[in-house]
Amino acid sequence: MKNLIIASTSTVFGGNYLDYLLDEIAQLFSETEEVLFIPYARPGGISHDDYTQKASEAFAKIGKKLVGIHTYPTTEAALKDAKGVFTGGGNTFLLVSQLYNFKLMQPLREAIFNGLPYLGTSAGSNISGVTMQTTNDMPIVYPPSFKTLGVIPFNLNPHYLDPDTTSKHMGETRETRIKEYHTQNSVPVIGLREGSWLRVRKEEIILQGNLSARVFEPNDEPFEVESGTDLAKGF
């Protein structure tokens, strides 16, 4: 019953907000004219209203109305009425904290498993995994749990960057950090590069976009999977 788009980013280099995904989004939400927006990640500290307005401008291009969940009397009523949900990017720690504070994590998970169309970008994609522990974000708040929706059987690292062999930067690469994660955890991690997304339909999890994705598993060397691969069939 699952029906999701899980995207690395909302904006590819040189493009406008969500432009590269609009055709896919229109198909995802083809059976509704109104989509519920969860703005809790607040990129750069933007307000819920301003974030909703920004996302609404993109959705208007495909004839869809976006309504912020914060404008409803209760989050329970908002989710109950929703025919589609979009969770935008920003800070994953803040997003997860708010989803728990509003008691939305489990109801949203159940709704997705029951077929509610879901779009996530960046932080909104992080929460589709088993946990949020492979986010790139700064821990600006302390969520009650790192456990997230678990609607896909692995974790994500959106905005995945390959090591730059010409750089003089001596800090950790994404690959180093994910390998460090696997010294303490066993959940596989998919590094999603910019402009890539996962299209989830029922039990399929198809990598989409022009780029490959990088797969990390504990005690194994990372490897690439090509666009078009069904990640639900294993790696």
What positions carry a catalytic annotation? 122, 137, 159
Q: Two tokens at 190?
A: 């998919």
Q: Can you tell me the distance from the alpha carbon of 210 to that of 197, in angstroms, rounded to the nearest whole number?
A: 10
Any idea how long the chain is? 235
Q: What is the DSSP string of 154-201?
A: SEEETT-----TT----S--HHHHHHHHTTT----EEEPPTT-EEEEE
- Tell me the pairing of strands 197-201 and 3-7: antiparallel
Amino acid at 122: S
Query: Using CA atoms, how far apart are residues 169 and 224, in angstroms rounded to an integer?
Result: 24
Helix (H) or strand (E) holding 107: helix 105-113
Residue 67: other Cβ atoms inside 10 A: 17
Q: Which residues contact 121 (CB under 8 A, 6 or more apart)?
A: 7, 8, 9, 10, 18, 86, 87, 88, 89, 158
Burial grade of 54 (CB within 10 A; 0-12, 13-18, 19 or more): middle
